């Protein structure tokens, strides 16, 4: 094709009809998965200060939220349970009366129109806030943010994760989503689920999860900040992209039915690389708390147009290659798209 003045790119942008007809990436309510926080301690319920518009729900209030989600046409939720009591091992996560399990029951009894995905991790359930069981070992080469001699014991954590997944499946979860970045978690959960007869429960693995500072506001919502050190010995280094392909491949080989890249917007290149390397895999991206709160805060100051920026960010995540988007904008975006 010859160049200017024969070729003018602006012609195909000239009218709304042309722009719509040639559009490559489209977002719809079908893409969205809405995170839902449920607290066991009723006194802890209420708005999350660092995430305007996001609530910590008490169980008894969940029905209203379910109704809203269903009426907006949102098909899936990602459930986070916040327990009243924590302990050293995070055993509470595996209880069949955990806040998460009770919430699953409630959603199941209220509607058939919501797919229930659950976060499977120990960080809200451990008193130290790490995503696994900890072990003191002076000989350990691992440091947790300057803390030496404490290891997050990968293999000791797997059994609790598998039992947590089974508890969620027993309560009626459709999909379990291990987010703790423990090696072998997908395989352990798959064999736990299968042994318990839950062969139809899917695993959405947080396969590519970075040690990101964008999770700050979430840790207020889920009460899951590490009490010492950081998560860099188990979550990925933000500088790495090739490593993401290894993580994705391992989780798929262990039996993940779908995988996730998290966070989303600072890692669009990673979403694209994972999509290209695994063209057929269902791929989710998590627009995390910090991504959400930045847009909210700027919009509150009048510095950004919230609706336009949120929809642009979701479109960019879709364009990068994600099929599903976990986003705190799910309800608002569903309304914006409906009313557009």
Cβ nearer to ligand PBG, comparing 110 with 156: 156
What is the 8-class DSSP label of residue 272?
H
C-beta of residue 129 within 8 angstroms of C-beta of residue 197: no
Q: Of 37, 125, 218, 329, which lies in the binding site for ligand PBG, with binding defined by CB under 6 A?
A: 218
Q: Of 89, 154, 164, 179, which lies in the binding site for ligand PBG, with binding defined by CB under 6 A?
A: 179
Q: Would you give the binding string for ligand PBG spanning residues 73-92, x where CB under 6 A is met?
A: --------------------
Look at strands 202-209 and 175-178 and give their pairing: parallel
Task: Give me the helix-helix angle, 306-320 and 330-339, nearest 10°.
Answer: 100
Residue 215 binding ligand PBG, by CB under 6 A: yes
Residue 151 binding ligand PBG, by CB under 6 A: no
As a whole number of angstroms, the distance between CA 85 and CA 90 comes to 10
Among left, alpha and beta (phi > 0; psi -120 to 50; other), residue 51 is beta
What is the 8-class DSSP label of residue 335?
H
Is 262 catalytic? The answer is: yes
Q: Of 289, 293, 313, 327, which lies in the binding site for ligand PBG, with binding defined by CB under 6 A?
A: 289
In the complex, minimum distance from the CB of residue 203 to ligand PBG, in angstroms, rounded to a whole number: 15
C-beta of residue 123 within 8 angstroms of C-beta of residue 222: yes
Residue 293 binding ligand PBG, by CB under 6 A: no
C-beta of residue 271 within 8 angstroms of C-beta of residue 283: yes
Q: Would you give the binding string for ligand PBG spanning residues 93-132, x where CB under 6 A is met?
A: --------------------------x-x-x-------x-
> How many of the chain's residues bind ligand PBG (CB under 6 A)?
13
Q: Whose CB is nearest to ligand PBG? A: 218
Instruction: Please state the φ and ψ torsions of residue 224, each to the nearest 5 degrees.
Output: -130, 20
Q: Which residues bind ligand PBG (CB under 6 A)?
A: 119, 121, 123, 131, 179-180, 215, 218-219, 224, 231, 288-289
């Amino acid at each position: 094709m010859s160049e200017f003045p024969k070729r003018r790119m602006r012609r195909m942008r000239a009218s709304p009809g042309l722009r719509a007809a040639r559009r490559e990436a489209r977002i719809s309510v079908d893409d969205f998965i809405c995170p839902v926080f449920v607290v066991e301690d009723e006194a802890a319920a209420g708005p999350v200060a660092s995430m305007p518009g996001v609530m910590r729900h008490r169980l008894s209030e969940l029905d209203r939220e379910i109704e809203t989600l269903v009426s907006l046409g949102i098909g899936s939720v990602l459930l986070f349970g916040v327990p009243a009591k924590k302990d050293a091992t995070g055993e509470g996560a595996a209880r069949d009366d955990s806040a998460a399990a009770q919430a699953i029951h409630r959603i199941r009894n209220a509607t058939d129109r919501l797919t229930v995905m659950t976060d499977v991790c120990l960080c809200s359930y451990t008193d130290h806030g790490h995503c696994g069981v900890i072990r003191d070992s002076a000989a350990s080469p691992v440091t947790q943010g300057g803390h030496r001699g404490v290891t997050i014991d990968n293999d000791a954590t797997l059994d609790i994760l598998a039992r947590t997944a089974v508890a969620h499946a027993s309560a009626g979860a459709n999909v379990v989503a291990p987010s703790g970045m423990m090696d072998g978690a997908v395989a352990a959960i798959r064999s736990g689920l299968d042994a318990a007869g839950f062969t139809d429960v899917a695993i959405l693995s947080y396969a590519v999860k970075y040690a990101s500072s964008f999770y700050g506001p979430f840790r207020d919502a889920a009460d899951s900040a590490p009490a010492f050190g950081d998560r860099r010995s188990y979550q990925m280094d933000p500088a790495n992209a090739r490593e993401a392909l290894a993580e994705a491949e391992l989780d798929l080989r262990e039996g993940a039915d779908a995988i996730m890249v998290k966070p989303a917007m600072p890692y669009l290149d990673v979403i694209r690389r994972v999509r290209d390397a695994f063209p057929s895999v269902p791929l989710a991206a998590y627009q995390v708390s910090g991504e959400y709160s930045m847009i909210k805060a700027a919009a509150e100051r009048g510095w950004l147009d919230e609706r336009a920026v949120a929809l642009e960010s979701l479109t960019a995540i879709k364009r990068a290659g994600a099929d599903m988007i976990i986003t705190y904008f799910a309800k608002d975006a569903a309304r914006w798209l409906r009313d557009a």
